[in-house]
Structure 1
């Protein structure tokens, strides 16, 4: 891409070229003539040499964000009004032409995140916000008096940072945010002068061994030490060495205290004075004293409390924590009761998984509860004698503890019923082989995934299908999603495919699948290396990111026999749909298959093997082929495709024809919709489609013609052709094309067809017609007509 200089630029105020990803050369060597320029944005371009800025007195903003080719910045010494300098993401940037910003007194924001800078300029001006996130070459910070007005210093992810000079923070009395997360700093200098500090972020500083005194940080609101696994010792003026944190008693304004995964702490400081805390995370901390968690009695403003994976045996009364919205006690194996839990009626998330609790209060008043996790709560009394073998309600009508009345629940994990019922040794052994086998995890996903009549259930084990067999009438309409147990998050939440499901839900609703499976059973299998057992009962099967799928015969025979629809996506080992062997004759492969969707299969080469029965696709109605770069043809000329109605093929780089035998005259008698898009090797379609009413073809650069003259589609209603460089005529025989009429055509869109000479003999008088850049068509057709 090339940009020519503007004829008049002396009045230009904003020059924004951001996102011009192909722009290599800036059209001006210098900006000296742009005397009124205030903003220059060259972000996300390939520019290597920014212009010489000259003496532009009004320039306030410069952005070279994500300019990966920029290595050096011209001098900004003359830019006395500059306020913002953003070079973040310019991963090759390493130096300034003039390392002194002394004359840039108005410079408020400097963002060098993600660059290769090894040190800061000798005089960095007087910034208020300094961003150095991910500056992996930065190893040391030295004292700079010029930073006296700094309010925020962000260094998270500067992984090579190991040292900060002792005097560095002495003059930073205005600093409000100090972020050193994910650095390798071992020791911090004194922070006593940071009297206005509100956030001290040190998460995942895994090398940090010593923490300075924090007594003067009386305005501190957030202290994040999560993941500081080496933090054990602090040098104090009063003590030689103690294995603890400094006193936090003076941090009366602290709102968030995060100490999760500080696994080497041997003593907690007194926390009772932190009465304004809204979030406290002590997950995996083992150093609770004899008083346990009595400090909670003074924290009436707490909204989030995480004590997971601790050794707590008891908790104080929860009656004063009435504002609590999230309570995590996951993995507290010694905890047998939670006193006054019924007072926490504002709770939205309650995770008691892996505790030794024997009872729960009635939960029917917890009207805000969205997540209730009771996984591995083996001692809950009301579950001990409860037979829980069918979530459909055929055996169990009402869940205990008022759970059935929690109408806002989005996620419910129930205890392992087999263990509760005293399972025999054989069953316990089976549970150890496949964790969570008889334990229900039910999640409600957003409405966009399904309509209100078809709830979405995410189960953590394929064993649920054994129970469905016992009560097949209970589930006539559902969509099950099965993923490996190890893919679920540690808090028992909805598994890692949630975001993808949301996207896919929107996508599938526009397709025939959503209409067809409303009254059927459908199953989604995600992320398995081996085919999960017991999943044979679904009629519509979705296979995503499964390494075991090389062909559909890798599924159980009963699965293939029942299957009416199959969607396969991102299965990197898949090469063929059906590969029938002689010993497989008893399996009627795909006989009832109506829908087949194949997407993002990088090694996929063929739909079928040579010895496949001709009847395999006799009931196929809908076929979608998307992003399969190795396939050269779709069907065999011997295949009987008498019921195919919709065929859509996109982004298949090597596809040359729909049928392998190009000389045979194949027929698709019921095909009514054909979409072909970006098929650069497609030479011909080569089939008769008498029932066609929608034809859309685009970006097929060597396609010469589309329709067969043997039996033309008289009912064609929609015809859209775009960017087919070699297309000469719609019909293979030019004489037939001249005489043929289009009696029912009501939409005709033709765009960028440089060789198209004819579309047929006659068009209806009333139609939506748009024709552009088709120079060889008769002039009478070139005018766009839009009539309803």
Structure 2
């Protein structure tokens, strides 16, 4: 019982009873763990005594029955019916399932209901799964995407089958190939990542109570006969995701009880019948399907809460439908098709009719569409995830984007006549690409919308002269701004802005405590990264009184300045960057001073930051000409220097102690040949981002495959990757 460590201290009487309960578990580890989990936190003597009494009263014929008896007792202690239903539902997934997918099913089934928002439903779902994990009826694992999942021990799953035989019939796995197994009392059927090839016309099961049919990732499934659905009138959930079906049978149109139709990743799909009769449908997922046109009858889906069309080949969402889908909570339209970005455009005024939206990912082709939508924005909206692409995009433009895990994103491209917009105040990521009229960020949004920004990327904005204007700071006490501008900023990229001379005003530095990355490339007129006090908004009095200030950028890890022919200064003040890992300075011939202040040892000599990995520069001559705060800084950093396309200058002189770190540093170190390629491409942000994303995907795939414990696990993961690739 000590294995799960009770939160409360047990009295001697209760501890004695707990030992007796352990003896009743007959030394079976799974039974002991499960029983301990179900009694965690219980310190009442009466409840423990009652538990022991019930265990002694139940009888078992053999060892298998003994195990089931003890596990069943833990199940019976679940005092909420929905929790018991959730637990039994997990038996449909022998290999486990991601939490989000499972909770989605539970919502579709109505096991989670009565909440005002989808977020609240997911919170309830995670709470239920946490409770089942805490009592050891479910165990946690990370799925192929690194997302949290749950699964059952084989014995516990067998117990769930026995329980369900007394209530409702389920069928899991290749049993469904046996036509005789499709009984009238069948309620749920599941075969994930199976080898089903077709469902022939001779198979028309009489299953009037069947509510759930889950066949995702049967990637050999190409054909389903129309007769198959004829007698499944109570079907509520149909999941054919990641199969190779080309036609969804017309008989699906008559499944009027259907609440979820999931066809995600059906790349060969060319036909979905009319949805006009499916008035109870709440979730429709056509993401990454091969449809050229949307199904007919969508305007009748007044109960629809979840609609994903990202990756379909339809270029524009039909006008007049959205205002009739007033219950929508999730609406996703933009994605990739065959390596090409293929967003479905939508009108801003129509999206503005959807007042219950919580997730919105879409493409507004015109700036006026974004304006039309944002005008409807008010405190009554509950949008917690959004991604707006605005303007004319092509695949070269999209390649500049980084698809991160951020949930509140605005991307602007090829727009003119930008006016300062009323953006959401919680925007996390902003990309401005080829917006020729913007002279500073202030032309796009006001300072109140910058407090939550984590990522800014400004690309090929030829008329942009500075990142910020003084108007943002006029009402702010200087030199330390207190309005939170860029306080959460982590990554900043600036590429190809040929008119920009200054980047950040120095008055902003105290706010950049969370900054991790600065990358500036191909900005022909860039003179200063951090503007001098004379050019910033600080008055002369402040300037003279603060000439020796040191600024801390404690989280800054990466500095990259490439092809900046006029760059003369990074910052006139001293910068403490204790987390710095990589420095790249290429083709910046006028840069003669580095403002980085190194730690000083007891002997007075400077020491590199402990986190430092490598420094890339053009030549040893340039490096030796650079001025530092301490005259010995060049020598202290020399072991980390990589010049041109070569290896580190002092690589052959590294001590034996450094060799022990090779495994850890392999991912950072570049040998001579590979580094020459890398060096030649450092001025090309687009190329580097593409390479970075491909290596991330490949490394994740390899790690996943080598971690497989069984052939079934490998097939399950390959099914997902095959469709993703």
Indicate the TM-score class for this superposition, using the shorter chain for normalisation: 0.3 to 0.5
Name the structure with the higher helix share.
2
- TM-score (norm: length of structure 1): 0.43
TM-score (norm 2): 0.46
The higher relative CO (CA closer than 8 Å, separation ≥ 6) is in: 2
